[in-house]
Chains A and B, each alone.
Chain A
Amino acid sequence: MANTVVERPTLGREAVTPARPPGYYPLYDAAGRAGFLVVSVAGYFFLWAPILLLIVFSFNDGRSVNAWYGFTFRWYESIFSSAAGGEASFASDLLLNSVMNSLLVSLPATFIATVLGTMIALSLARGKYPGRRYVDGLLLLPVIIPEITQGISLAMFFKLIFDYVDSATGTRVYPGFGTIIIGHVVFNISYVAVVVRARLADMNPRLEEAAYDLGANGWRTFWRITFPLLLPGIVAGALLAFTLSLDDFVVTFFLAGVGNTTLPVFVYGLLKITVTPDINAISTLMLLASTVLIGISLLLQGRNKA
Chain B
Amino acid sequence: MALWLRTQVHKRSELLLAVPALLWLAIFFVMPSLMVVVVSLMTRGAGGNPELPLTLAHYERTFSAFDSVLLRSIWIAFLTTIICLLAGYPLALFIRTRQSVALRRFALFMIILPFWTNFLVRTYAWRMVLGREGIINGGLISAGIITEPIQLLNTEFAVLLGLVYGFLPFMVLPIYASIERFDFRYVEAAFDLGANKWHTFWRVMLPMTLPGVLAGCVLVFIPAIGSFVTPDLLGGTQGLMIGNLIHRQFVGNGNLPLGAALSVVMMALVLVPLLIYVRAGGER
Enumerate chain A interface residues (CB-CB to B < 8 A).
1-2, 4, 6-12, 14-16, 18-23, 25-29, 32, 36-37, 39-40, 43-44, 46-51, 53-54, 57, 64-67, 115-117, 119-120, 122-124, 126-129, 135, 138-139, 141-142, 144-150, 152-157, 159-160, 163, 182-183, 185-186, 189, 193, 218, 243, 247, 249-250, 254, 264, 267-268, 271-272, 275, 279-280, 283, 286-287, 290-291, 294
Contacts and interface: CB of A to CB of B under 8 A. Distances in A.
Majority secondary structure, A binding face: helix
Contacts of A11: 101, 104-105, 108, 180
23 contacts: A7-B174, A18-B183, A18-B188, A23-B97, A25-B187, A25-B191, A29-B197, A36-B93, A50-B126, A50-B128, A65-B131, A65-B135, A117-B21, A123-B16, A144-B270, A144-B274, A147-B228, A152-B263, A160-B35, A189-B25, A267-B124, A283-B121, A287-B121
B170 A119 contact: no
A287 to B, nearest CB: 5
B79 to A, nearest CB: 16
B24 interface: yes
Interface residues of B, number: 105
Contact of A193 (B21, B167, B226): B21
Contacts of A19: 185, 188
Interface of B: 10, 12-18, 20-22, 24-25, 28-33, 35-36, 39, 49-50, 87, 90-91, 93-97, 99, 101, 104-105, 108, 110-111, 113-114, 116-122, 124-129, 131, 133-135, 137-139, 165-170, 173-174, 176-177, 180-181, 183-185, 187-188, 191, 197, 200-201, 205, 215, 219, 222-223, 225-229, 233, 243, 246-247, 250, 256, 259-260, 263, 266-267, 270, 274
B123 to A, nearest CB: 9
Given A120-B17, A138-B25, A9 B222 contact: no
B99 A23 contact: yes
